Amino acid sequence: MQGNNNHFNFKDTINELERICKDLESEDIDLEIALKKYEHGISLIRKCSQYLEEAEIMIKELEMGDNQTILTEDSINDIKDIRDIENEDIEDIEYPDDINDIEDNF
């Protein structure tokens, strides 16, 4: 799924993240080593997140079937923007107080 030549194994990466977490929970770890492990863990989390985003796009493409379109970088960013909008809180949306308010707009 990733465009580079490096082989990415999601399960192995999650296992490595679990090992890093256990190491960081240890009381005997040196601060400098802990910071390096933390930095490496963040890097792994970003790779996993990118991998999952690419998998989500691939699934959406497969679900489209015959209507499948080739996604460009711009359309991938549009999908991410839509997902971000869908995840925003809807508390700020103003709803009409009365059904007549809706009918008046048509």
Give the pLDDT band (50/70/90) at residue 106: very low
Radius of gyration of the chain (CA): 22
Q: Of all helices (H) and strands (E), which one includes residue 4?
A: none
pTM of the model: 0.54
H runs (alpha helix) in 7-30? 10-25
Token pair, residue 73, equals 């970088």
Report the first-to-last Cα separation within the chain, whole angstroms: 47
pLDDT in tens, 8-49: 899 999 999 999 999 999 889 999 999 999 999 999 999 999
Token pair, residue 29, equals 């770890």
